[in-house]
Structure 1
Amino acid sequence: MKKSSRENVKTFIAGGVAGCVAKTTVAPFDRVKILLQAHHQHYKHLGVLSAIIAIQKREGFQGLFKGNSAQMIRIFPYAAIQFTSYEFYKPLALNTFGPGHISRLVPGALAGLTAVLFTYPLDIIRARLAFQGSDTRIYKGIIHALSCMITEDSGIRGFYRGITATIFGMVPYAGLSFYCFETLKVQLLTNAPEIFGSDNPNKENSKVLSIPAKLMCGAISGAFAQTVSYPLDVVRRKMQLAIMYPPEQQYLFRSCSSTLKYVYIKYGVVNGLYRGLTVNYMKAAPMVAVSFSTYEVMKQFLGLDTAVSR
C-alpha cells in the first residue's frame, strides 16, 4: 500500500531523530575509532579505554565529542533518508522477490546506498574535524573545513574521496543490519511473543517488540554487519583523511584497491584492516541498538504502523 505524504514525513522525522540519538550516544567511541583507524600520532599506540582517558587529558571532556556537531548535521538527513528509503524499497522488494530473505536484505542495502550518495560530503567534513587534535588543528569549524576542501582538496572531487570504499562497505553493512534486525524481530514475535513482545498501542491484537528486545536485536545486527564490512570502513577513513597525514598521501589518494593493498601490506590484518574493531564493537552494537529501537518507538509515537512483515 502506497504511503501518504504525511506518513513519509513522519517516517523521515522518526529516522532522523533515531540517527541523532544513536550517534550522540556513541560519539566518544566514534571519535576514538577514527583516531585509531587513521593512526593518529598521539593516540595510535593506545587502546580504546586508554585513548579515551588520553583525549580527556589532552583535549578535555569536550574532545570526546569533537566533530559531533558536524555529525548531527550529517546524521539527521542520512538516517532520515536511510529509513525513509528502506520503507520505500521494502514493498518493492516484496513484490519483486516475494516473502523471504532476499526481500529483507535488498531494501536495507539500497537504503544505505541512497543515504550515502546524498550525505557523503558531510561525512568527510565530520571525519576531518574529529581527526584533528587540539595541537594539530587545521580546520576552525564546519564552514572553514568546507571552504578549505573546495580550494585545497581537488574541489568538488575531494568531497567524494573514498566513496567507492564507502559504497562497497555500506551495501553489505546496511543490508545486513536491516536484514538481521527484521529477521530477529519476526522470529521473536512469531515464536515467543509473550517473552519479547508488548501490545501495539496503535493496533489492537497486535504485538511489537519490547524495548529490551529491540535493543538486543539491534546490538546483534550491528555487531554482525560491522564485522563483515569493517575493512572497507578502514579504507574509507584512510582515503578521507589522507590529506591530513602527508607521509601517506601518495599511497592513499589513488583508489580503493590501492589503499586496501597499502593498509594490508604496511599494517597487516589485525593492526590494519581490522584496526579499531574493538572500539567499533563497543560503538556499533549500542549505536544500531539505539537507532533501531528509537526508530521503532518514534514510529509508535507518531502513529505509524509497526506490524511485523515476513
Structure 2
Amino acid sequence: MAVTEKKLGMVEVNKKDVYIKSFIAGGVAGMCAKTTVAPLDRIKILLQAHNHHYKHLGVFSGLKGIVQKESIFGLYKGNGAQMVRIFPYGAVQFVSFEIYKNILKDNFGQSHALKFFAGSAAGITAVVMTYPLDVVRARLAFQVTGEHVYSGIVDTLSCIFKTEGGMRALYKGLSPTVLGMVPYAGLSFYVFERLKHMCLEYIPNLCGRPHSSATGGVVLALPAKLLCGGLAGAVAQTVSYPLDVARRKMQLSMMRPETYRFGEGLVTTLVLTFREDGIAKGLYRGMTINYLRAIPMVAVSFTTYEVTKQLLGLDTGIES
C-alpha cells in the first residue's frame, strides 16, 4: 500500500510539474506569436471595422498608411494591452489543453478526435478568463493618432465600465468569440497534433530530429513544427472567420454613432454585415490579411510552445 501511494504521489507531482511548465511555455508562446504579427493584427482590426481613414486601402497600402500617418510605432498600437492579455491567455489555453486532453484520455482512451474537444474547451476557457483585455486591445488598436478616445489600458477599462453598462460591456462580443473558438481552437490543436503524429510516424527521417527518449529519440524538427502550425492556422481561420468579424464589430460598435447598430447581438451583426457588404466584402472582409497573420501566428505559437517545453525538460514527441 505504501509503495502504491508513493507511486501515485510521484505521478501527481509529475503532473503538476507538467502543468506549471506548460503554463509558462504557453504564455511565452502567446507573446512571441502575437508580437510577430502585431502590425498585421492592427490593420486587420482597422479593415474589419471599416475605420474611415483606412477602409479604402488594402493590406500593404494600409500598413504603409499607418507608418505615414502614425509613424512606425503605429504598427504596434494596442500591443501593450495585447501583451498584458496574451501571456495569461496563451498560458491558460495551453495548460488547459493539457489538462482537458488528460481528462478525456483517462475517460475515453487515446483518440486524435478528442483533441478537437480538448482544444475547443481550452480556447473557451482562455477567452472567458481574459476577454475584457481583448476588448481593450481592440479599442486601443482602432484609435488613430490625433483622434484618441482612450489614454491607456486602465482608462479604457474604466470608461467602458462606467459609460457602456458595467461588466456586461466588457464582455460585448463574447458570444461570437466563444462560438468561433470551438472550430478555431479545436481545429488548431487537432490539425497540429494530427500532422505532428503523421510526420513522426510516417516520415521521421524527414521531419524528426533526435531529442526525446520517451518517443524513440525523435521530435519534430523546427521547420516541420512551423509547417504543421501554419497549416493548422489556415484550416482553423477559414472555418471560424465570419464569427471573428462579428466579434470585432460588436467590440467596436460604441466607437462611432453609425456603428451602434452592431452592438445589438451576434445574429443581428452577422445579418447586417451580410446585407450591407455581402460575403467577400463583409463576412470575409480582411481574410487575405488574416491568412498573412494567422498562418505565421499559429505556426510561431505552436513552435514556441513545443520548443519551450523541450527546454523545460518536457517531451513533445509522438504520443502512444
Pairwise TM-score range, normalised by the shorter structure? over 0.9
**Which whole-Å CA distance do the structure 1 matches of 2:204 and 2:263 have between them?**
51
Structure 1 residue 304 and structure 2 residue 314: aligned? yes
Give the secondary structure class of the aligned counterpart of 1:91: helix
- Where does the alignment leave 5 or more consecutive residues of structure 2 unmatched? 1-10
**CA spacing shift, 1:43–1:199, aligned 2, 3 Å:** same
TM-superposed CA distance for 1:4, in Å, is 3.4
1:190-242 superposed Cα distances (whole Å, 9 cap, x missing partner):
00000000111565732110000000000000011000000000000000000
Map residues 162-181 of structure 1 onto 2, 5 A cutoff: 162-181=173-192
Mean CA deviation greater in 173-182 or 200-209:
200-209
Give the secondary structure class of the aligned counterpart of 1:17: helix
Contact 1:104 1:178 in 2 (8 A): yes
Which residue of the partner structure matches residue 301 of structure 2? 291
Aligned length in residues: 309
Contact 1:202 1:300 in 2 (8 A): no
1:157-200 superposed Cα distances (whole Å, 9 cap, x missing partner):
11100100000001110000000000000001000000000111
TM-superposed CA distance for 1:147, in Å, is 1.1
Which residue of the partner structure matches residue 152 of structure 1? 163
Which residue of the partner structure matches residue 211 of structure 2? 200
**CA spacing shift, 1:202–1:20, aligned 2, 3 Å:** farther
**Which whole-Å CA distance do the structure 1 matches of 2:50 and 2:319 have between them?**
43
1:259 to 249, 269, 272: 269
TM-superposed CA distance for 1:100, in Å, is 2.8
Which residue of the partner structure matches residue 247 of structure 1? 258
1:70 to 67, 75, 81: 81
Q: Counterpart amino acid of 2:139? A: R
Which residue of the partner structure matches residue 8 of structure 2? none
RMSD between aligned residues? 1.3
TM-superposed CA distance for 1:252, in Å, is 1.1
Give the secondary structure class of the aligned counterpart of 2:252: helix
Q: TM-score, normalised by structure 2?
A: 0.94
Mean CA deviation greater in 100-109 or 252-261:
100-109
Contact 2:215 2:319 in 1 (8 A): no
Aligned-pair identity in percent equals: 53
**Which whole-Å CA distance do the structure 2 matches of 1:221 and 1:259 have between them?**
27
Give the secondary structure class of the aligned counterpart of 1:100: coil
Map residues 185-196 of structure 1 onto 2, 5 A cutoff: 185-196=196-207
**Which whole-Å CA distance do the structure 2 matches of 1:283 and 1:102 have between them?**
27
Larger Rg belongs to: 2
Give the secondary structure class of the aligned counterpart of 1:208: strand
2:135 to 107, 120, 124: 124
1:20-59 superposed Cα distances (whole Å, 9 cap, x missing partner):
0000000000001000000000000110000000000000
Which residue of the partner structure matches residue 93 of structure 1? 104
**Which whole-Å CA distance do the structure 2 matches of 1:262 and 1:67 have between them?**
27
